Structure 1
Amino acid sequence: MAVAGEVRPKNKSVRYRVALACTLAAVAALTQVGTADVFDARLYLAIFAGASALAVALLWKQPIANPRVVLAGAALAHAVTLVAIPDFIDDYFRFIWDGWRTLQTGTPYGAAPKAFVVDEAVPLDLRATLDRVNNPEYPTIYGPVLQVVFAATFAAFRTNPLGLQLLFAGVNLLLVALLLRRHSPGSVALYAWNPLVIADTSLHLHPDGLLAAALFAGVLAARRHPVFAGILFATAAGVKLVALAAWPLLLRVRPAALLAAAATLIASYLIFLLQGRGVGFETTRAFVQFWHFNPLGYEVLLFGFGWRVARLASFGCAGLIVLWLHARSRSVEDVPLAAIFGVILLFAPAINSWYLLWLLPFAVGRDQLWPFAATAALPLSYLTGLTLDDPALELFEVHPLARLIEVAILGAAVFADWQNHRRSGALVPIPPPTPISRARVAAIIPALNEEAAVGGVVSDVKAALGQSLDQLIVVDNGSTDGTAGAARAAGATVVAEPERGYGSACLAGLTLVRPETDIILFVDSDGSDKLEDANAIVAPLIAGQADLVIGSRVAGNIEPGAMTVPQRFGNWLAPLLVRLIWGVRYSDLGPFRAIRRDALEKLAMQDRDFGWTIEMQVRAAKQGLRIAEVPTGYRRRLGVSKISGTVRGVILAGTKILYVIGREAFGDFGARRLPHSHGAGRIGHAAIRKEGAGNVLPTLAKRAVND
């Protein structure tokens, strides 16, 4: 069970032993206090929150040599919980009731437990269970996967909650074992030995750990077994729909994963939906609209805007941030699911301590304090008017002092993580690329029916670059006029690429680039680029100041009428999205650009049409290339544009640009993966990394053209 390649540390400290002893003692104390004749909420919560805080303090960055110790300690802690269940816990009565209803009628949905109070068909041993079901006026809210689980445990144990305890404990131990396959034992112990994790699974009987276990197993399986991963993600969503927040992760693997997830989830709901009694969405709607308990960020929105606007705003804010966190991730393994579920909780109208089970497994190994500090903070939400028997408080109103302490703990932990991120996240500057003593530039000019302009463009490029121009390649992209002849007459090398598309033409041109070429310049063939600026664009590359230089029309001078309104809008929107997602500032998507050959090799360019320019800029941002923009002029083109000249062209180009941004943000559906890098930063910065840069550009270009 040891992590591959792990060097087991020698444990000279007794801290982890003390932590385990404290967890075991705390769980035993919770069992005793929770089942006492007179329930003391203050004592119970002091043990619950205090033990969680102590466990985190003792285990934080504490090495443990043997992973079996972590798993055995977690198993022992769960075993302690099997003695009894605290009397104030009542959620599991609904689980038992749902299990019976599923076995009896095939579905627990559509009928509130309250309707069965006088039903003589209810067995005698279920009467006590029915009397303890919470919120009996509402039909069940729990998902289809949980209903199958409840039915199975009822069939084996009937009203005895031991079946649920054993199941939830077993699933959590399986999750601990999976965590140990990926992380060091010391970091896993933060989760496995946390009193909140133990209590909220097999003592308080909350099924949320099933969601986390399915998601974590799905992440582990995503690369090699995408269909199985999709089924696991659907299983998690069938436990609670909040798991859908993790589904964009599936876009980073083959499409089969997402298809399997959707098909499995739909099938699980259809089993119950076809019986005509719904699937609990009416209760879900009531929960979303009216439940209000222990909120954090939502409370601020509620105070400022009222509950209707607050709930809509909180949903929108959480959704946008979740998508942003997914988009910024580099790989399946890099998706910050702990932060994603944390954002959902931040804006949720109701926050319970067991919701932390969604995120804690994904916080393991990330060196973030806030998720584990939350295990000491959120248990304080049990101090309500109901548990304290305080007439000054509403039944589910959290005591103000408990709220203050809760917020203080969370705020301090978030601040500590922010400080740690600032100290460790600073990019280490690296020496700039080596200046090129005698630059060899290859200019690639895609052309489609540009007979009137291409000759002049070729001549202007030659005049602007002079001796540094080593190759001038015009790609005839299926022209029906004399474009090829005009280009040859002006002195260009012409290659034919019958497959239409700007990217296809650029890739075809790259197949002719000589191995000794240093810089590749891309130029439009319609006469719109101010080609006397070509030297200014390649100069930063020659000087070693940049890897990619964009000729910015926005920063330069655009001739009136040269750009349409849709072009200007798209030219503003796409760079804005790139800045929001990857933190790199562009002002233009201009096709007049130059890039060092070794930098282009890292980008593995593949787009075949309108997405070529934005793909290059996004991948440059993701790879941490040094990017510069040089002001350039932009004139009215000769002839009619194939893109901005038609409504169809504008729509297709805009759609493709947004698609490429989305594909690069959320996954490329199995296309060739980019080399992993941690250096994508702002312009002028990069992180230290070691990457080979062989002469593979022609090979990659040929492969992309032929794929």
Structure 2
Amino acid sequence: MSFFKKHKDILLISISTILYFVFAYFLERTEFTKLLLLWFSLFGCSYFLIKSKTINTTTLIGLVILFRLIFLFAIPNLSQDFYRFIWDGRMILEGFNPYLSLPETFIQQGNSPISDANNLYSGMGEMNGSHYTNYPPINQLCFLIAALFASKSIFGSVIVLRILIILADVGILYFGKKLLEKLNLPVKNIFWYALNPFIIIEMTGNLHFEPVMLFFLIWSLYKLQQHKWIWAAILLACSVSVKLIPLLFLPLFLQWFVKNEQNWLAGIKKISLFYLIIISTIIILFLPFYSSNFIANYSNSVGLWFRNFEFNASFYYIFREIGYLFRGWNEIAIIGKITPILTIIFLMIITFFRKNNSLKQLITAFLFGLCFYYFTATTIHPWYLATPLILSIFTKYRFPIFWTIAIVFSYQAYANNPWKENLAFVALEYLIVFGVLIYELRKTKNYKIVK
């Protein structure tokens, strides 16, 4: 026992290194029991490493890099999306507009517009290949960079994409620490994101580009804290141009601008310019891809997430069962239209009736606005949780950390052949999440989010 206490940090680092290596190179996503064992073991090690009083910040930063580099040469094992990333990047390199064509069309015609076309289509799957791409322009730029450096090697493209994501996480670490210092919060909070096994596995390991989006978002918030709101607007537009999700936050800035000005009229003028810069920057970034069919294709692709897809939902599954009970069929087309409206109403409520004067209050509003959307959405893929996780470290709420642990239960669906969700596991996940959320709300005596 004394040996463990003396060398516990080295043991934790060694065990984590081995477990990440096994995860990266010796795990199939159908191996659910093995996945659970590795997942919970890594979270246990991560908790004790972050809580350790004998490990300094420099060492923790070193571990952030080390654990990510373990995945450098691994092919993603929990997601197929990277095949579409590579496809889009190579299409741009060959002069095609990825928003105007379907991979499925080229394959059916026996046409190979890019290197490894058949392998990439087979890898992404028929469902992905039959829909127009929905990845915004800066995300497409990342895909193009991978094509520039590795236009004929899927393995090489994976390495380039992974390096970009690692660099984004380093940027989050840098600006996240600085923002925590500005907000007088413990700097060590950043490691609840940076050393979270969910982030390392889902982002670095499975090549989801949330870190690039979050890099621009955190940098934007840092500039906002410095009252450099023009730069904040440009950076927020860049964040939206990686993933659209930060668009949800736009109404919530109202109070921050109005309350920090001498009069409300000056605040309205400034926030109007703030929005104008954001919208103008987004339009400029999309312009290279614009054509007469672009808007129809892109809006249709984005709309599919509301009308057609369902995975790992919470309240939506309850609404769906009610629909089956009274109507006899799946009402996703109707429910998918209602839930965005509910999200907009909720955002308006916390925009006008909740205090969002300080940056801490504003980020807390971001967190609850986004989580309301997720709780009512039809589809919640694991990697979506990166955003509430990073937001939570700037607040007093920690339920997103528990959600990143419980999200592993959603992968039980892939243990079945064909793919099929077990709603008992989905229920277990959300019981944990809502249990912690309710406990935290009661603990802070904040029964009303809009208080």
TM-score class normalised by the smaller sequence: 0.7 to 0.9
Is the CA contact 1:111–1:139 (under 8 Å) kept in the aligned structure 2? yes
1:74 aligns with 2:64: yes
TM-score by length of 2: 0.82
Residues 1:287 and 2:305 aligned together = yes
Shift in Å, 1:229: 0.9
> Out of 240, 244, 249, which is 1:246 matched to?
249
The runs of 5 or more residues in structure 1 that have no matched partner are: 1-11, 427-579, 584-707
Aligned mate of 2:428, from 405, 426, 441:
405
Aligned to 1:94: 84
For residue 324 of structure 1, the aligned residue among 349, 354, 370 is: 349
Aligned pairs (5 A) from 1:109-148: 109-117=99-107, 118-134=109-125, 135-148=128-141
Distance in 2 of aligned mates of 1:123 and 1:182: 43
Secondary structure of the structure 2 residue equivalent to 1:212: helix
Deviations 1:377-431 (A, max 9, x none): 11211111xx22346xxx2x32234223312321332233123213xx69xxxxx
Given that residues 50 and 376 in structure 1 are in contact (C-alpha distance below 8 angstroms), is that contact kept between their aligned partners in structure 2? Answer: no
Match of 2:285 in 1: 268
Aligned pair in 2 of structure 1 residues 13, 261: CA closer, same or farther (>3 Å)? farther
Is it true that 1:172 corresponds to 2:179 in the alignment?
no
Deviations 1:556-579 (A, max 9, x none): xxxxxxxxxxxxxxxxxxxxxxxx
Deviations, residues 441-491 of structure 1 (Å, cap 9, x unaligned): xxxxxxxxxxxxxxxxxxxxxxxxxxxxxxxxxxxxxxxxxxxxxxxxxxx
How far apart are the structure 1 equivalents of 2:78 and 2:409? 15
**Structure 1 range deviating more: 282-291 or 362-371:** 362-371
Residue in structure 1 matching 2:22, options 26, 29, 52: 29
Structure with higher helix content: 2
Give the CA deviation at 1:156. Answer: 1.4
Q: Which residue of 1 aligns with 2:178?
A: 181
Give, in whole Å, the separation in 2 of the partners of 1:47 and 1:75: 20
**Distance in 1 between residues matched to 2:142 and 2:247, nearest whole Å:** 20
Give the match for residue 194 of structure 2. 192
Describe the superposition over 1:174-219 as per-residue Cα deviations: whole angstroms up to 9, x where unpaired: 1012112233343222111111000111111111222222111111
Which residue type is aligned with residue 414 of structure 1?
L
Q: Which amino acid aligns with 2:233?
A: G
Match of 1:310 among 335, 360, 373: 335
Shift of 1:81: 1.0
Query: What per-residue deviation string (whole Å, max 9, x for no partner) do you get for residues 234-265 of structure 1?
Result: 11111222210122344434333322111001
CA offset at residue 369 of structure 1? 2.5
The answer to whether the 8 Å contact 2:78/2:206 transfers is no
Higher-Rg structure is 1
* 8 Å Cα contact 2:102-2:131 kept in structure 1: yes
Gap change, CA 1:274 and 1:312, over 3 Å in 2: closer
Matched residue, 1:375:
404
Contact 1:298 1:347 in 2 (8 A): yes
Moved more, 94-103 or 411-420: 411-420
Q: Secondary structure of the equivalent of 2:26?
A: helix
In the TM superposition, what whole-angstrom CA distance separates every residue of 1:623-652 from its partner, at most 9, and x where no partner exists? xxxxxxxxxxxxxxxxxxxxxxxxxxxxxx
Of all paired residues, the percent bearing the same amino acid is 18
Correspondence 1:190-269 to 2 at 5 A: 190-222=192-224, 223-251=226-254, 252-253=256-257, 254-255=270-271, 256-269=273-286
Q: Does the C-alpha gap of structure 1 residues 104 and 32 become closer, same or farther in structure 2, counting only changes over 3 Å?
A: closer
Q: For the residues of structure 2 that align with 1:182 and 1:62, how far apart are their CA atoms?
A: 23
Q: Decide which structure has greater strand share.
A: 1
Classify 1:119/1:155 alpha carbon distance in 2 versus 1 (closer, same or farther; 3 Å): farther
Q: TM-score, normalised by structure 1?
A: 0.54
Q: Which residue, 369, 372, 384 being the options, matches 1:343?
A: 372
Shift of 1:361: 1.2
